[in-house]
C-alpha cells in the first residue's frame, strides 16, 4: 500500500480467544481530514480506535503516523487527544484544572499552561466557567470540556469515541457542528467513531463502514450514499427498501419491472431509497400496489405500500394541508433506474 496518508493503518487485526474483533483493516488518512468509523455495535470500530490510541494492543498490523511507526509505542507517547463517550472528567477538579491536566503531566511551564488553557476554553465557548466543577455543567458543556482537554495538548491526531451519544438530539446537532468547525479551523486530523449515519454523513470527509470486524467500504459521504458497494452499506447508510427478487440473464424482475443485475443469477435483493420512489394515485404508470399504512412524522409523510406481498416504503415531504390516503387505496409506484441497487441475496 502506498504511503500517502498522515495516518496509515495496514493490516490492523485484533484477535481474542475464538473471536476476531478487527480483521485486517487498511486505511490511509490525509493530514487534516476528519474520518468516521461507522457501523453497528460490535463491528470493530471502537476496538480499531483503541488500537490507534494504544489502549488495546494490536494482534498484528501497523499504525504509522507522520512516517513514524507507533504500533508498539505506549499510549501517552503517541501524541493523540482522546474524547470519550463518558467524558471522563475529574469531578473534584475545576474546568480549568481538568483542561490543564494533560499539560501538567507533560511538565509544561505554568505561564504557558495558563495561556493555552484560556485559549482552549475560549475555543469551546466556556469562558467564564473556568472555576466551576463538571457537575455544575450540562452534558453538552461537559463534552466541550472533554474536547478542550484533548485539544489543549495540541495532538497530532484527535480521536473521538461516540462523543455525542449521551446528548439529546438538539445538543447532538449543535456539538456535531461545533466539533466539525473546530476541527477544520485547527486543521487537525481526526477519527470519529459513531453508529449514527447522520453524524458520519454530515461531519466527515471520509467514512469507513465496518461490519463484523471487516471493512465494507471507504468513501466520501456522497460515494457511500449514491454508490454503495455492498447490500450492507446500502442498508446501513441511509434508509432503503430491501425487496426480494430473482435475477436471470443479467436482469432482475420485481413486480413486473425489470432492473439490470449484471453478473447476478438467482435470488437477489433490490434496494430503493424511500424518498426516491414516486407515488401516483390515479392512472399512473409503474408498479401497482395498495396503501398498507400511512405514518405522519411532521416533515415526512411515509406510506407503506403493499406490492405483490412486499412492503415498499415511500417518503414524501409534507407541505401542509395534505389529504392522507387511506389503507387500501390503489396507487402506482415508479423510480429512476439509477436509484435502484441490486445485490446477490445473502445465503
Residue with cell 453497528: 40
Count of beta carbons in the 10 Å neighbourhood of residue 28: 19
pLDDT of the residue at 4 = 63
Contact by Cβ (8 Å): 78, 54? yes
Contact by Cβ (8 Å): 52, 63? yes
pLDDT of the residue at 3 = 47
pTM as predicted: 0.89
How far CA 1 is from CA of 27, 28, 33, 62, 153, in Å, comes to 9, 9, 19, 12, 31
From first CA to last CA, the distance across the chain in angstroms is 32
Sequence spans of domains, the chain: 7-231, 239-344
- Chosen CATH of 7-231 out of 3.50.50.60, 3.60.20.10, 3.40.50.620, 3.40.50.300: 3.40.50.300
pLDDT of the residue at 159 = 96
Q: Look at domain 239-344 and name its CATH class.
A: mainly beta
Give 299's DSSP letter. Answer: S
pLDDT of the residue at 347 = 46
The DSSP secondary structure of 104-152, one letter per residue, reads HHTT--HHHHHHHHHHHHHHTT-TT-TTS-GGGS-HHHHHHHHHHHHHT
Residue ranges of the chain with pLDDT lower than 50? 1-3, 347
Amino acid at each position: 500500500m502506498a504511503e500517502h496518508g498522515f495516518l496509515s493503518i495496514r493490516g490492523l487485526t485484533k484477535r481474542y480467544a475464538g473471536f476476531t474483533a478487527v480483521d485486517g483493516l487498511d486505511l490511509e488518512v490525509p493530514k487534516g481530514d476528519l474520518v468516521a468509523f461507522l457501523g453497528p455495535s460490535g463491528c470493530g470500530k471502537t476496538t480499531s480506535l483503541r488500537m490507534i490510541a494504544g489502549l488495546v494492543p494490536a494482534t498484528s498490523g501497523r499504525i504509522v503516523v507522520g512516517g513514524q511507526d507507533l504500533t508498539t509505542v505506549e499510549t501517552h507517547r503517541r501524541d493523540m487527544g482522546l474524547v470519550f463517550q463518558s467524558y471522563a472528567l475529574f469531578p473534584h477538579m475545576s474546568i480549568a484544572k481538568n483542561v490543564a491536566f494533560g499539560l501538567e503531566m507533560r511538565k509544561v511551564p505554568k505561564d504557558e499552561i495558563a495561556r493555552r488553557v484560556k485559549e482552549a476554553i475560549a475555543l469551546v465557548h466556556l469562558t467564564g466557567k473556568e472555576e466551576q466543577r463538571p457537575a455544575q455543567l450540562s452534558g453538552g458543556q461537559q463534552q466541550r470540556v472533554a474536547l478542550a482537554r484533548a485539544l489543549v495538548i495540541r495532538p497530532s491526531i484527535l480521536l473521538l469515541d461516540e462523543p455525542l451519544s449521551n446528548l439529546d438530539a438538539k445538543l447532538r446537532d449543535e456539538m456535531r457542528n461545533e466539533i466539525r468547525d473546530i476541527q477544520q479551523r485547527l486543521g487537525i486530523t481526526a477519527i470519529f467513531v459513531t453508529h449514527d449515519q447522520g453524524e458520519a454523513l454530515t461531519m466527515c470527509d471520509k467514512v469507513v463502514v465496518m461490519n463484523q470486524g471487516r471493512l465494507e467500504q471507504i468513501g466520501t459521504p456522497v460515494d457511500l450514499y449514491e454508490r454503495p458497494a455492498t447490500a450492507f452499506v446500502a442498508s446501513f447508510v441511509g434508509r432503503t427498501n430491501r425487496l426480494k427478487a430473482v435475477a436471470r440473464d443479467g436482469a432482475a424482475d420485481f413486480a413486473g419491472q425489470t432492473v439490470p443485475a449484471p453478473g447476478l443469477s438467482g435470488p437477489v435483493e433490490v434496494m430503493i431509497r424511500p424518498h426516491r420512489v414516486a407515488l401516483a394515485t390515479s392512472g399512473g404508470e409503474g408498479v401497482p400496489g395498495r396503501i398498507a399504512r400511512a405514518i405522519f412524522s411532521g416533515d415526512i409523510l411515509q406510506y407503506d405500500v403493499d406490492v405483490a406481498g412486499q412492503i415498499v416504503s415511500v417518503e414524501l415531504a409534507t407541505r401542509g394541508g395534505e389529504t392522507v390516503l387511506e389503507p387500501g387505496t390503489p396507487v402506482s409506484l415508479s423510480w429512476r433506474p439509477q436509484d435502484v441497487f441490486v445485490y446477490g441475496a445473502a445465503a
